[in-house]
Amino acid sequence: MSTKKKVFIVEDHAIFREGLKRVICEMDNVELIGEAENGADFLMKLKKVDPDIVLMDIQMPVMDGLEATEKALKYDPSLKILVISMFGEEEYVYSMVEKGVCGFILKTSGIHDLEKAIHRVSEGQQYYSEEIMGLLVKKVRQIDAAEKITFSEKEMDVLRLLCKGLPNNEIADRLFLSVRTVEGYRNRMLQKTGSANVINLVIFALRSKLVIM
């Protein structure tokens, strides 16, 4: 019997928050364990709950998602935060990535995409919608550090599929490798680039033009 994934919502708009709660409560193997209307409210409640994943808004009164994410990850570095953003908030995307969030999904996304994002992030993977990935591609620039880092042919194969947002098991199937082998290639690339997570690795690949999308 699978354990339900515990979700906490941080969102200041009551109508959207209520809609999100109803959607989550109808999902299989997902349990809503709390909600907060701003970052300060969330940090206070975080001491009493143990969520598997936090759905974090960006622009909120009292304390926004950037500050709340930074403080929450200092309190619990293992916390998995999935940002729910709107068009027009691309100026915050890279800052949130640097702070260590596990993914991004737009508020206009469908229920299936939200469910997929929750499950991927709760399992230790990253998730970012195609639209958000497009925003990152626009903002990235070539960096000299890429000239000092080399990847093997197999690492590049894995990297290209990571940049498309594929999870490890799908990459393994496409490249006829085991999931453990894919994880090994991924971990070596994270170490080589000093990336904290796959999103940072993807950004590095795009900034350095190792992968063109």
pLDDT digits (tens, 9 = 90+) for 132-152: 766 665 555 444 445 567 889
Q: Is the pLDDT of residue 43 over 90?
A: yes
Interval 21-32: pLDDT, tens: 999 999 988 999
Q: Looking at the predicted structure, is the pLDDT value of residue 2 above 60?
A: no
164 pLDDT band, cuts 50/70/90, is confident
Distances (CA, A) of 95 to 53, 61, 170: 19, 18, 29
- Across 7-18, average pLDDT: 94
68 and 125 fall within a common domain: yes
Domain boundary residue among 101, 119, 137? 137
- 213 in a structural domain: no
**What's the rounded mean pLDDT across residues 57-82?**
93
69 pLDDT exceeds 60? yes
Instruction: Tell me which residue range forms the domain holding 9.
Output: 5-137
Best mean pLDDT range from 56-70, 98-112, 183-197: 56-70
- Helical H runs in the chain? 14-25, 39-46, 65-75, 90-99, 111-122, 130-139, 153-163, 168-175, 179-193, 198-207
Yes or no: say if 24 and 32 are a contact pair by the CB < 8 Å rule: yes
**Residue 23 is assigned to a structural domain of this protein:** yes
Same-domain status, 121 and 47: yes
Phi, psi (degrees; rounded to nearest 5) at 111? -60, -40
Does residue 94 have a pLDDT over 90?
no
Same domain, 113 and 168: no
On whether the CB atoms of residues 36 and 64 are closer than 8 A, the answer is no
Torsions phi, psi for 53 (to 5 deg): -150, 140
What pairing do the DSSP bridges indicate for beta strands 103-106 and 127-128? parallel
Single-letter amino acid, residue 17: R
209 versus 176: the higher-pLDDT residue is 176
Do residue 145 and residue 202 come from a single domain?
A: yes
Do 172 and 127 share a domain, yes or no?
A: no
Residues 107 and 166 grouped into a single domain: no
Q: Per this entry, what is the length of the chain?
A: 213
Q: How many domains does the chain have?
A: 2
> pLDDT at position 1, please?
44
Same domain, 46 and 109: yes
What confidence tier does 159 reach under pLDDT thresholds 50, 70, 90? Answer: very high
- Which pLDDT belongs to residue 138? 57
Looking at residue 136, what is its pLDDT? 62
Domain contains 20: yes
CB 53 within 8 A of CB 41: no
pLDDT above 90: residue 184: yes
Residue 212, domain member (yes or no): no
How many other C-beta atoms can be found within 10 angstroms of the C-beta atom of residue 210?
A: 19
Angle at 192 between CA 71 and CA 68, to 5 degrees: 10
